[in-house]
Amino acid sequence: MTVTHPEVFHLLAFLPVVVLVLVLNYRAGCKDTTRLIGSLHETTVRNLFLIKSFFGGLSFVAFYVLLVASLAGISWGLTTVREDRSGLDVVFAVDVSLSMLVEDAQPSRLARSGDLMRAVVQDLDGARFGVVAFTGSATRLLPLTEDNAAIESTLNLMGPELLSTPGTDLERALTTALASFPADSDRHRAVVVFSDGEAHSGDETGPAREAAERGIGVFTVTVGTPEGGPVSLRDGGRAFDRDGNPVHSRAEPARMRRIAEIAGGVHLDASEAGVFSRLPDALSEFEGRRDSEGFRTVPVERYGFFLGWALVMLAIHVLVRSLRWRRWF
């Protein structure tokens, strides 16, 4: 079972207020009834009024709870729907940790990544692009869009100052990138990860397998060399470890290659010849080799079930409140 809008359940916090209003309404009704009927039939009237108020209140509380459940978007079970897989959505997941400022890729690892992303945007007409930045955490900077000006502005902002969490976590990067695709989209979907491959936390194999199961291509681009280079700080100074030794960063293409293999994508080296055309070509080939039509499984939304029972409870509430019961005493 999945819940699309769990925040709606916060409305249940008002349930005690609803119950309190019903109790106060019952007490006021008892006083008014006694004042009108007198004490001759007071016990009988109170008992009948209690029964009527109880079932009326219970049905209204049930209506309120069921209405909230219908608004929450509860789903369970799966159904198969036909999809028209036209168009391409690409999410760039870009490592912005300090190691990406190393200059073993010219002019730097991060600048090289930016140039490659611009080449992809220029070559893939009609595609939509999103951007995720990551270090030890990850955040979505740009939702999927065809606005080249917005994409260019986002790429110009890329830098270590975007995120303060130290380290590199490829698992968080992939998880955030996969969550960037709309659930109801039928377009071809691909993630392109730009990183030196160094990882200090997380297990990237999990989201890589999830991407393979969902038919999302994961393309990895290793930026940097195994020989690496010294890491610079944001102010241009050198980074040193706790022992006072200069921090040296080396690219780890094996990890990046493994991610692409698990997800059924392609691994590229940012320093290899022709990479500026190979990456767009690989994405175009990925889009072309998939069927233009297919099927996918989606959760079955059950809001109708809850809404239907909510209306039944509301009808019972109205019926109980409107029944004439004078003949009972």
Q: pLDDT tens digits for 206-215?
A: 999 999 988 8
Domain with 159, as residue range(s), is 86-290
284 and 309 housed in the same domain: no
Domain annotation covers residue 143? yes
Residue with the larger pLDDT of the pair 312 and 86: 312
Give the pLDDT confidence score for residue 329 in this predicted structure.
43
Give the pLDDT confidence score for residue 141 in this predicted structure.
94
Domain annotation covers residue 295? no
Give the pLDDT confidence score for residue 53 in this predicted structure.
81
306 and 248 housed in the same domain: no
Percent of the chain past pLDDT 90, that is, above it, reads 46
Burial 235-267 (b: 16+ CB within 10 A, else e): eeeebeeeeeeeeebbbbbebbbbbbebbebbb
71 and 134 housed in the same domain: no
CATH number, domain with residue 282: 3.40.50.410
Domain annotation covers residue 136? yes
221 and 203 housed in the same domain: yes
Q: Are 192 and 120 in contact (CB under 8 A)?
A: yes
30 and 102 housed in the same domain: no
146 and 18 housed in the same domain: no
Query: What does pTM read for this prediction?
Result: 0.62
Tokens found for residue 84: 């028209």
249 and 321 housed in the same domain: no
Closest to 101 in 3D by CA, of 198, 202, 201: 198
For residue range 25-71, what is the model confidence (pLDDT) as tens digits? 877 777 766 666 655 555 666 676 777 788 888 899 999 999 999 99
46 and 99 housed in the same domain: no
Whether 226 has a pLDDT exceeding 60, the answer reads yes
113 and 66 housed in the same domain: no
Q: Are 217 and 89 in contact (CB under 8 A)?
A: no
Highest mean pLDDT among 133-147, 178-192, 287-301: 133-147
Rounded mean pLDDT of 104-113? Answer: 91
Name the band, by pLDDT with cuts 50, 70 and 90, for residue 328.
very low
Domain annotation covers residue 60? yes
Name the band, by pLDDT with cuts 50, 70 and 90, for residue 245.
confident
- In angstroms, the CA 230 to CA 239 distance is 8
- In angstroms, the CA 276 to CA 279 distance is 6
Residue with the larger pLDDT of the pair 193 and 49: 193
- Number of domain units in the chain: 2
Whether 237 has a pLDDT exceeding 90, the answer reads no
Give the pLDDT confidence score for residue 77 in this predicted structure.
81
- In angstroms, the CA 170 to CA 203 distance is 7
Q: Are 166 and 127 in contact (CB under 8 A)?
A: no
Is the four-CA dihedral 260, 261, 265, 270 of positive or negative sign?
positive
231 and 317 housed in the same domain: no
95 and 198 housed in the same domain: yes
| 3-state SS assignment for residue 114 | helix
60 and 96 housed in the same domain: no
Tokens found for residue 2: 């999945």
| 3-state SS assignment for residue 165 | coil
